[in-house]
Amino acid sequence: MKRFALALAAASSVLALGACSNNDGGSEVIAETKAGNVTKDEFYEAMKDRFGKDVLTELVHEKVLSEDYKVTDKEVDQEIDNLTQQYGPQFEAVIQQQGEKTVKDMVKVDLLRKKAAEKEVKVTDEDTKQYYETLKGKVKASHILVEDEKTAKEIKSRLDKGEKFEDLAKEASKDPSGQNGGDLGWFGEGQMVPEFEKAAFALKEGEVSAPVKSEFGYHIIKVTETVKPYEEMKKQLEADVKKQKVGQPDAVQGALDKALKEADVKVKDKDLEDTFKAPEAAPAEGQ
């Protein structure tokens, strides 16, 4: 989130750049003042000095990746919804400060990068089997955490009437996982408080518990997945492992490096010409 916010700030702040001086260079004037004019050349140089590499990187990535990958408006809107649910007011403030169009442009580029990484990442049988071994003795569960028993019973009643667990978690849970539908991922024995653990491991897949009291409040727990035979889980295991790999910075950077090399990117501005050059490796100790 921090990297994303910084990139948005860089992209949008170029609109506010400019140096006040006389119009000596013959460039088109874009702002006039009694103290002197601001020209397009001055504006460009200020933009380049402060944010040039960041902005150029975003523009080139979008141009290159859009040749092979497509991101729809629907996908952008969905990702913005996801980020809003995940970060709440923090992300909404970014949208308000930077503008909806700037945010959508940045989200689009991030999705293009993700699609490039997804294409390049490979998942082997060994990968899925190793991951499967780590799940043995675990369950995957979600929960809704509230302050008091009365509220917990009200939530359970609403669930019994057919309301969605994920929706109620986002609405009512005081745990940070609520923004993600209450999802806690996979966990094994000894990772949760005893009351929670006992209730969770007593549930079958898809079952929802009665309110469970712990030192944190009252939990309503839903076991969303249990470990089944490998072949039954293989497809989901592959998807999970691929998602994990795509989330690694090296995977995204590797896909970007390949795409930029194939696109034969050449930066003509001498001040920005090293934007896409890989940093030189540090010399080995003793050399």
User: pLDDT, tens digit, for every residue of 110-133?
Assistant: 999 999 999 999 999 999 999 999
**Is it the case that residue 16 has pLDDT exceeding 90?**
no
Confidence (pTM): 0.70
Q: What is the pLDDT averaged over residues 33-58? A: 89
**Is it the case that residue 215 has pLDDT exceeding 50?**
yes
pLDDT band at residue 8 using 50, 70 and 90 as cut-offs: low
**Is it the case that residue 89 has pLDDT exceeding 90?**
no
- The pLDDT, as a whole number, for residue 90 is 85
C-alpha to C-alpha distance for 195 and 202, rounded to whole angstroms: 11
C-alpha to C-alpha distance for 7 and 211, rounded to whole angstroms: 43
The 10 Å Cβ neighbour count of residue 158 is 16
- The pLDDT, as a whole number, for residue 14 is 43
pLDDT band at residue 23 using 50, 70 and 90 as cut-offs: very low
- Asked which of 2-6, 100-104, 213-217, 269-273 is least confident by mean pLDDT, the reply is 2-6
Continuous segment of H or E residues that includes residue 30:
strand 29-31
Q: What is the domain class of 137-226 according to CATH? A: alpha beta
pLDDT band at residue 265 using 50, 70 and 90 as cut-offs: very high
The position carrying tokens 């497509």 is 70
Task: Specify the amino acid at residue 54.
Answer: D
For helices 73-87 and 100-120, the axis angle rounded to 10 degrees is: 100
pLDDT band at residue 189 using 50, 70 and 90 as cut-offs: very high
| The two three-digit tokens of residue 38, written as one number | 């601001």
Q: How do the domains of the chain map onto residue ranges?
A: 31-120, 137-226
C-alpha to C-alpha distance for 150 and 161, rounded to whole angstroms: 17
